[in-house]
Structure 1
Amino acid sequence: MDNDTTQLALSGAVVGGVVPFLVGIVIVGALIWAVWWGRRIRSQEPGPPRPDEQPRLPDSGPVGEVRERREPAEMPRGNHRLTSHRLRGHGNSSTRRAANQKPPTWNENGGGGPGRT
């Protein structure tokens, strides 16, 4: 019997069966440790708010949706480049409420396709 071939076959069986088993044990141990660590951290966090700590409606009742049309902001004219903070009506200054509050309607005779009126 050839001893070299027997030893190689044995080492192949060890690598093919024992090493993956040990790697699996290490992975399972890491997962168990992660769950233990997560439960430990979660136990230190405050609990959910009590019912008396929950948000309540204002005394005036629920806040409704407000829809209104605004006048477009004028584009400033000048020789310098405009940056976002120089544009009006984008958070740094308010626009005026439009006199006509009726929303625009579609053209009844239009086909509805893009670019058609």
Structure 2
Amino acid sequence: MSTAAFEVAATASDVLNVIGAFAGGLLIAGALVWAVWLGMRVRDREPPRPRSEEQPHLPDTGPVRETREMREPDEIHQTERERLLPHELHHSGSKRGDDQNRKRWLPGSSGGFGSGGIGHV
């Protein structure tokens, strides 16, 4: 083939690439427009958002604070039966502990498994 035939084939290939890129861009733009339109239709079918007076408010006493307490398990007294039924247990299975001081690790101890400490020597 001559160089002129190669130039015509290369030019035709460039034109096809530009047309393909333009068609792909139109396809993506059309998909985005369709997605926005669909989202607007879905949002129109949703119930209206609550107004500010319908939003929850803080109690008059202020925000509720977290309470922290040390718990200990309830003692289970053995009966003549082999096991207790669920309604015979305390509702949470634990009670407030007598000692409310938080347990701390001993100085020089490793802390816990995998904590990276050197351990108690």
Into which bin does the TM-score normalised by the smaller protein fall? 0.5 to 0.7
* Equivalent-residue separation in structure 2 for 1:23 and 1:100 (angstroms): 72
* Equivalent-residue separation in structure 1 for 2:109 and 2:74 (angstroms): 29
* Equivalent-residue separation in structure 2 for 1:15 and 1:73 (angstroms): 80
Aligned residue runs from structure 1 range 1-117, under 5 A: 5=6, 8-58=9-59, 60-72=61-73, 93-107=92-106, 113=117, 115-116=119-120
Encode CA deviations 1:76-114: one digit per residue, 9 max, x unaligned. xxxxxxxxxxxx9xxx84212211111123445669835
State the partner residue of 2:80: none
Cα RMSD (Å): 3.5
State the partner residue of 1:80: none
TM-score normalised according to structure 2 size: 0.60
Q: Is the 8 A contact 2:109 2:119 kept in 1?
A: no
How far 1:27 sits from its partner (Å)? 0.8
Q: Which aligned runs of 4 or more in structure 1 are off by greater than 6 angstroms?
A: 109-112
Q: For residues 116 and 3 of structure 1, do their structure 2 counterparts lie closer, same or farther at Cα, with a shift above 3 Å needed? A: same
Aligned residue pairs, count = 101
How far 1:31 sits from its partner (Å)? 0.8
Secondary structure, counterpart of 2:101 in structure 1: coil
Segments of structure 2 that go 5 or more residues without pairing to the other structure are 76-88, 112-116
Q: For residues 28 and 109 of structure 1, do their structure 2 counterparts lie closer, same or farther at Cα, with a shift above 3 Å needed? A: closer
* Equivalent-residue separation in structure 2 for 1:2 and 1:65 (angstroms): 83
TM-score normalised according to structure 1 size: 0.61
Identity of aligned residues (%): 42
* Equivalent-residue separation in structure 2 for 1:66 and 1:14 (angstroms): 73
